């Protein structure tokens, strides 16, 4: 079993009608996700709109979710400001979270030496496990397999990476070159199965807001040696992969629409994401219904 589970949901952050943080809604959502296939939660990450939360809001969210569930809770405390990331990471000690997620510094585009110094400084500020987050499409800079290998070998509490590079071959190199206890999670739902095939341990998922059980089935089938079952589950999830983000409606806008379609707390996103139309909720409902129907069809055939 992977340290944080095989299906870890990057949870959306619910807001009320006035755009305020809905802590009670976050608790309801967190419990729902755990009941529908999620083994763990990332809180206040990209999907959780971390960049538009104040530190105080994020701390309230971390505390409430950690108290509400018994699965691992990973607090996203990264920043493009090393000093802020260090201070904020220190502030989550003792509030019940199980690890921190540290994203590559965005916008600054530091060198490999700068990245190394940044990650080492943040890791030194906490006794918690540190999961790095490599997402060059949003940060403008890739960590790279060589630096990941050095950090994994030299910094004891850097224990894994959420890899959203889209580079399966690169992930295979990281798996091969890092210590056995270093874990690679896919950061792209659509690449979960290929990542598992090269030694990844699971997915930090967006689609698991509405497709958690299907995601869990795909991973468990693969781990049980049922490759055909994993392939079929992956096929059923293709529409969800396409829905979860687009140029018109980037993540987390569709995920929040899906939550609203399910009657779960979500609200709209904060700016700079504009308000999503009700038509997107209707689209989400269609995706969810077809996924549910395909699962029923599979069960009837089996």
* Enzyme catalytic residues: 133, 162
Phi-psi region of 294 (alpha: psi -120 to 50; beta: other; left: phi over 0): alpha
- Rounded to whole angstroms, the Cα distance separating 13 from 21 reads 8
- Rounded to whole angstroms, the Cα distance separating 52 from 43 reads 13
Angle between helices 23-35 and 208-223 (to 10 degrees): 30
3-state secondary structure 241-261: HHHCCCCCCCCCHHHHHHHHH
73-76/40-43 β-pairing: parallel
Question: Alpha-carbon Rg of the chain, whole angstroms?
Answer: 18
């Amino acid at each position: 079993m992977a340290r944080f589970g095989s299906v870890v949901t990057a949870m959306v952050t619910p807001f009320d009608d006035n755009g305020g943080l809905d802590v009670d809604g976050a608790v309801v959502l967190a419990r729902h996700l755990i009941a529908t296939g999620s083994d763990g939660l990332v809180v206040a990450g990209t999907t959780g709109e971390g960049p538009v939360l104040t530190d105080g809001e994020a701390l309230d969210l971390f505390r409430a979710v950690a108290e509400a569930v018994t699965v691992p809770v990973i607090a996203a405390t990264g920043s493009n400001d090393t000093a802020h990331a260090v201070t904020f990471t220190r502030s989550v000690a003792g509030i019940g979270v199980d690890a921190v997620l540290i994203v590559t510094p965005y916008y600054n585009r530091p060198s490999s030496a700068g990245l190394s110094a940044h990650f080492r400084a943040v890791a030194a500020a906490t006794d918690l496990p540190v999961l790095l987050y490599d997402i060059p499409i949003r940060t403008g800079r890739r960590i790279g397999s060589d630096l990941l290998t050095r950090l994994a070998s030299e910094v004891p509490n850097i224990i894994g990476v959420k890899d959203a590079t889209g580079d399966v071959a690169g992930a295979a190199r990281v798996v091969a070159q890092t210590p056995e206890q270093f874990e690679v999670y896919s950061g792209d739902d659509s690449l979960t199965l290929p990542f598992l095939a090269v030694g990844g341990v699971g997915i930090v998922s967006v689609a698991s807001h509405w497709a958690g059980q299907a995601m869990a089935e795909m991973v468990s089938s693969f781990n049980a040696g049922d490759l055909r079952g994993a392939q079929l589950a992956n096929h059923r999830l293709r529409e969800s992969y396409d829905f979860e983000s687009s140029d018109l409606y980037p993540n987390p806008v569709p995920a929040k629409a899906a939550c609203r379609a399910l009657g779960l707390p979500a609200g709209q996103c904060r700016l700079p994401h504009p308000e999503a139309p009700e038509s997107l909720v209707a689209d989400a409902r269609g995706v969810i219904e077809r996924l549910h129907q395909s699962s029923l069809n599979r069960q009837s055939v089996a």
